[in-house]
Amino acid sequence: MNRKAFIAWELIIMFGLIVVLMALAIPRFQQIIFKSKEAQTKVNLNQIREAVIVYYGTNGGKYPEDNLFSLMPKYLSNIPEANISKHEKPSNKVHTGNGETYIDGTGGWAYINDKQDPNWGKVSVNCTHKDTEGSFWNSY
């Protein structure tokens, strides 16, 4: 018999195979997206830190005492976003403080702007969760 069309069970099997392949591929694709967002956040963190270092060098050994907006526009065109994907919404807000209080886990960036603090000028990601590699965000 010479046939030119698929029968129903052949189509069902093909559809089932496609569904299984997509079920395997989609979680991996989502993980790749999360990792790329995390990598961009780490690049943005380094960009802010570089701007703080240049500010320090051109301002007589003083770090910014505000919420990093004194870096704009001379040292940074804008404060980039921290995109911690699974936990907080992308944010470029800067939480300031000193000691243990400068990281409150609300997303964005954390900056020690207290010149009495020995860590004055430190910039971190304002998150208390771990990234996809298992490191705490605030350890970067």
pTM for this prediction: 0.78
Largest CA distance in the chain: 90
- Predicted pLDDT of residue 76: 92
Instruction: Return the pLDDT at 112.
Output: 92
Mean pLDDT of residues grouped by 10 in the chain (140 residues)? Answer: 70 88 86 87 94 94 91 92 78 84 85 90 90 84
Model pLDDT, residue 74: 92
pLDDT at 57: 94
**Domain ranges, ordered by start, for the chain:** 8-139
Please name every residue paired with 110 in a beta bridge, in sequence order, or none if there are none.
95, 124
What is the chain's mean pLDDT, rounded?
A: 87
Per-residue pLDDT, 43? 94
Tokens of 124: 């971190």
Looking at residue 85, what is its pLDDT? Answer: 66
Cα 130 from Cα 135, distance rounded (Å): 5
What's the Cα-to-Cα distance from 81 to each of 7, 25, 41, 118, rounded to whole Å?
53, 28, 7, 26
